[in-house]
Structure 1
Amino acid sequence: MGVRPRRSRECSKTRPGASKCDGHFLTAGLVAATFLVLLGVSLLHLPEPVALDPATAVREVTLLIWTHPFGRKRPLPDCLARYGVDGCVLTDEPRAYPHADGVLVHHRDVASGGAELPPEATRPPGQKWIWINYESPSHTPALWRLEELFNVTMSYRADSDVFLPYGYLVQKHGDGQPLSEPSRTSRPRLVAWVVSNWVESQARVAFYYHLSQYIQVDVFGRAGRSIPEGLGSVVRLVRRYHFYLALENSQHTDYITEKLWNAVLAGAVPVVLGPTRKNYERFLPPEAFIHVDDFPSVEALAGYLLALSRDPARLIGHLRWRTGFGLRQPTFWGEHYCTACKALRKTMGQTQVVRDLTQWFES
């Protein structure tokens, strides 16, 4: 999965009182459920919950939300009541900085100049800085400014210190939305695409232009028609279609966003443009999606979609896997805060430094 950020084997000498490090930081345990082995295909496993160190098990930790993502302030959740995460206190009050155990910094806000970094000169001993980012490398500027400042990474990448993807499969009766049983009922429409950020230079726009030469693609969102009144959501809209174009705005390791999971939840077959097929197969069984790279040409892909729409028995082959599974889509941003705080509590006393942040994230 590319190059992991190299960690210092000793704590930063510039931080008085920093304790000796002990290997890599633990990845946060999200829920008791993990990805499963499905139809003989090993899917990506979410990390198992890790027992707390008895020395810190009774201690609460304070996580300071230094920057609300994209400058939009939201109420902070009660981690225990909302997500079952105990021992975590969230605050967004800057005056808490001197005694906070961790500080969560959203990349875009400091990189764009909308906020300053925390004052490193007065950084308390042992305090962890957590770098959080859910944009792709193509939309993550000025990483070089943040080298050797952070102790923990949190993102959609599976090799982050704290890994929380845009979505993941769980057992049907677990903590997730059950996926509907596959149906042979014909849907009235063929292909939909919902897109809000239309950029002519993006690969997904070029793909759309090419595909639309061969089949009808209904485009919705700010770049197309409005979602019909009464439907109210992308998922309800996509339930009318056989296929949904889950086209990422850029192609990078593990960058698989809600576009894919909206299609899965709606029961449409996602046609994906993003990382490699092998990367997608870490999140879904191989028959659960159609990758644009599976075909020698866009014309051949269009022909395959038309053939499936006319043959329900073949189409259901892309949907049968759904039986017995549910979908978890973490809630932005409260669940991310509580997950970060949970990881912070599990790694008390460890203060490593993330090196080569740019090389890792852009790999």
Structure 2
Amino acid sequence: MTSKASSRHFCPLVIAGGLLICFTMIFFVYNNPTMNWLPCAGKPQFNVCTETCLSAQIITNCSENKQEMTRSVKIAGGGNDHASEITILIWYWPPRRQFNLDSCEPVYGIKGCHFIVDRAQIDKAHAIVFYIQEIKGDLQNLLNISRPPRQKWVWTNMESPTNTPQLKGAEVLFNLTSNYRTDADIWIPYGRIVEISETDEPFQIPLKDKLVCWIVSHWNIKLKRVQYFNELSKHIKVDAYGRHFEQRIDNEDYNKVVSSCKFYLSFENSIHKDYITEKVFNPMRLGTVPVVLGPPRENYEEFIPRDSFIHVDDFQSPRELAEHLKALDQNQEMYERFFSWRKDYVSTHNEVSRLHACKVCEHIQNHRGFKIVKNITKWYWG
């Protein structure tokens, strides 16, 4: 007989022995004999029997518990190995934002991520990342796709509700959301304020030769930011750049221009909760004070130090704001207070397309349960 067969026969014998001991103890308890020879002598007789019976019950349930434990491990780990590789299919590349498919570990320390772009391998993917802006007229095709039941479809988007197309008929198409909003399943902010490291150089305010600057690509007279700028520029000089002003700025010039300004108009194209973009984090990174137009001040203060920026809502009018900026220009001590936070923190700007993909991988590694977004239209557009 093999050792495996012996183990199979051994368990029933142990169970039978345990039950025999239990019944024997019951007999002795009710007949009240001398019990000093028992291993638990000195304890109440009832406890002796209880503990013995409990041991027998544990032995009886050993095989069931082992099976349940094995099942739980498989559910939590998704299969064989808790460090198993996660395959993510990128359905569409966002325009001009392709990234190195092997960069999650070296950049973010997220291991076990394998990205593919070949839709013919859809059945191999644990999750699919959809950059929503690129779906456009392809929704009907997505609704007809046969997908594995455990595959997660991720609604991925960094545009505000104002500038995001609603997908009619896609109310139960997605399992997860990846977005700048803090109540998304996977939170991807445009930037963050993080603690300084030992390798960071001491901060110094850059030399300034401009008071107020603005770089804008999307110009629409109906936008609040355009209306505010038009009124503000009547009371203070604003060095404005971008297509509308026939002064295009490339990436290299951007850093030079922004760092040379005391204040930068960090005006969002629309106003929504948590919609705080690189228009804020980049000037802070480059040593310039952002003048923000967007969600309320309280929302900004959840993400950046309260004394690091100026909010247009703090003033009765653009003219009043202009007078305040002129006063700060004449008071270097007051101006430098806006950078007190730089003693302890730095501003970072995220490469959001890559961060989306890597964070989706990390989320799938740690969350294998069922999840569906029942009404994404109500959640995002209210």
Q: TM-score range by the shorter chain?
A: 0.7 to 0.9
The counterpart of 1:193, out of the listed 201, 214, 234, is 214
Larger radius of gyration: 2
Question: Which residue matches 1:204?
Answer: 225
CA distances 1:256-313 after superposition (whole Å, capped 9, x unpaired): 1110011101111100001110110001111111000001111111100000011001
The counterpart of 2:156, out of the listed 121, 132, 141, is 132
Report deviation, 1:72.
6.5
Question: Per the alignment, do residues 324 and 102 of structure 1 end up closer, same or farther by CA in structure 2, a change over 3 Å counting?
Answer: same
Question: Per the alignment, do residues 54 and 326 of structure 1 end up closer, same or farther by CA in structure 2, a change over 3 Å counting?
Answer: farther
1:356 paired with 2:375, answer yes
The counterpart of 2:93, out of the listed 49, 64, 68, is 68
The counterpart of 2:241, out of the listed 220, 226, 235, is 220
Give the residue type in structure 2 aligned to 1:233: D
1:90 paired with 2:111, answer no
Looking at structure 2, the residues matched to 53 and 279 of structure 1 have their Cα atoms a distance apart, in angstroms, of: 38
The counterpart of 2:186, out of the listed 162, 168, 189, is 162
Higher relative contact order (CA 8 A, sep 6+): 1
Contact in 2 for aligned 1:106/1:132 (Cα 8 Å): yes
1:181 paired with 2:203, answer yes
The alignment yields a C-alpha RMSD, in angstroms, of 2.5
Report deviation, 1:182.
5.1
Looking at structure 2, the residues matched to 96 and 178 of structure 1 have their Cα atoms a distance apart, in angstroms, of: 43
After the TM superposition, which of the residue ranges 267-276 and 136-145 deviates more from structure 2? Answer: 136-145
Question: Per the alignment, do residues 204 and 114 of structure 1 end up closer, same or farther by CA in structure 2, a change over 3 Å counting?
Answer: farther
SS at match of 2:360: helix
CA distances 1:157-181 after superposition (whole Å, capped 9, x unpaired): 111100010000111108xx95863
Q: Following superposition of structure 1 onto structure 2, how do residues 1-363 of structure 1 map, counting pairs within 5 Å?
A: 57-70=82-95, 75-110=100-135, 112-113=136-137, 118=142, 120-173=144-197, 178=200, 181=203, 183=205, 187-226=208-247, 232-348=252-368, 350-363=369-382
SS at match of 1:282: coil
Give the residue type in structure 1 aligned to 2:335: L
Report deviation, 1:56.
5.0
Structure 1 segments, 4+ long, off by >6 Å, are 51-55
Aligned residue pair count: 307
SS at match of 2:172: coil
SS at match of 1:358: helix
Question: Per the alignment, do residues 227 and 316 of structure 1 end up closer, same or farther by CA in structure 2, a change over 3 Å counting?
Answer: farther
Question: Per the alignment, do residues 335 and 279 of structure 1 end up closer, same or farther by CA in structure 2, a change over 3 Å counting?
Answer: same
Give the residue type in structure 1 aligned to 2:374: R
Give the residue type in structure 2 aligned to 1:148: V
SS at match of 1:77: coil
Contact in 1 for aligned 2:101/2:114 (Cα 8 Å): no
Gaps of 5+ in 2: 1-75
Give the residue type in structure 1 aligned to 2:146: T
Looking at structure 1, the residues matched to 96 and 282 of structure 2 have their Cα atoms a distance apart, in angstroms, of: 26
Question: Per the alignment, do residues 71 and 181 of structure 1 end up closer, same or farther by CA in structure 2, a change over 3 Å counting?
Answer: closer
Question: Per the alignment, do residues 55 and 137 of structure 1 end up closer, same or farther by CA in structure 2, a change over 3 Å counting?
Answer: same
Gaps of 5+ in 1: 1-50
SS at match of 1:238: helix
Report deviation, 1:67.
1.3
More helix by share: 2
Contact in 2 for aligned 1:105/1:129 (Cα 8 Å): yes
CA distances 1:289-344 after superposition (whole Å, capped 9, x unpaired): 10000011111111000000110011112121211212232214223211111111
Report deviation, 1:58.
2.2
Question: Per the alignment, do residues 361 and 141 of structure 1 end up closer, same or farther by CA in structure 2, a change over 3 Å counting?
Answer: same
Looking at structure 1, the residues matched to 123 and 142 of structure 2 have their Cα atoms a distance apart, in angstroms, of: 10
Report deviation, 1:77.
3.3
SS at match of 1:81: helix
Q: What is the TM-score normalised by the length of structure 1?
A: 0.78
Looking at structure 2, the residues matched to 237 and 93 of structure 1 have their Cα atoms a distance apart, in angstroms, of: 41
SS at match of 1:191: strand
Looking at structure 2, the residues matched to 353 and 146 of structure 1 have their Cα atoms a distance apart, in angstroms, of: 12
CA distances 1:36-86 after superposition (whole Å, capped 9, x unpaired): xxxxxxxxxxxxxxx989975221111111111248655533422343211
SS at match of 1:317: helix
Contact in 2 for aligned 1:171/1:325 (Cα 8 Å): yes
SS at match of 1:85: coil
Contact in 1 for aligned 2:188/2:352 (Cα 8 Å): no
CA distances 1:234-254 after superposition (whole Å, capped 9, x unpaired): 222111111000000000011
